[in-house]
Amino acid sequence: MKECKACKSEIDSKATKCPKCGADQRTWFRRHPVLTVILALIILGVIIGLTGKKDQGSNTTGSKPTTQETKATAKIGETVQDGDLAFTATTVTTANSLGNSFTSSKAQGIFYIVTLEIENKGKETKTIDSSMITLTDSQDRKFDRSIEGQTAKGLSQGKVDLFLQQVQPGLSVTGDIVFDIPKDATGLKLVVKSSLFGSGQEIDIEK
C-alpha cells in the first residue's frame, strides 16, 4: 500500500492513478518519456563537450614546450643568416671618443664599434636600414646606432656607413657600426635582421 500524492488516501502500491480522486501517481519522468529522453541527450552532450575542451586545453598546454625554437647565439667571426642576408661581426673595439679635432664626438657612456660584413645570398638587391641592426644587453635594453659617433668616425676615417648601403645579389659590403652604451652594460648581443619583419639572429660581442 502507498499514500495518494493528492488526497493522501491509501491505495495499491502498483496503482498509477488514485481510485478515489483520480490523481496520477507516476513521476514526472514516467509521465513525459519523450521529454525525459531529450533532456538526457542534452545533458550528455554538455558533459562530452566540456570533457573535450578540457582535454584539448591540456594537450595544447603540454605541446607548447616542444614547439618553441631556441636560437643559437654566434660569436665574433662566426656567420649567421637571416633571410637572404648573412652577417659576420669580424672585430669589436671600444672608445671614449671618436673623430679628430674638427669632428670629435665624446660618448655619453662608451662607444662600441662593430665591424660587420653583410653578404646578400638572395636574388634581389637589398638595402640596409637602421631597423636591421641593433644592440641589446642583459637588462633587455635596446640600443640603436649612435648617429653622432657614426658621423664623427666616418668623417675622420672615411669608414663605410652601412646604413642605406645597397648589397647586390652574390656580393657583400663591410663597414663599421657605432653604438653608445652605458659603461656597465653586460651581455651585449648584436641583433641582425634581413628586414623589418625578419625573425632576427644574435651575435655575442661581449669583450
| Tens-digit pLDDT profile for residues 148-180 | 999 888 888 765 678 888 999 999 999 999 999
Unique residue bearing C-alpha cell 644587453: 137
Q: 129, 124, 107, 138: which is closest to 206 by C-alpha? A: 138
> Are 1 and 13 in contact, with CB atoms under 8 Å apart?
yes
Give the per-residue pLDDT at 4.
75
What's the whole-number average pLDDT of the chain?
83
Structure-block grid coordinates of residue 121: 645570398
Q: What φ, ψ does residue 31 adopt, rounded to 5°?
A: -75, -25
CA terminus-to-terminus distance, the chain: 98
β partners of residue 31: none
**Calpha distance 134→98 (Å, rounded):** 20
Please report the pLDDT score of residue 5 as a whole number. 66
What gap in Å lies between CA 198 and CA 128, rounded to an integer?
A: 13
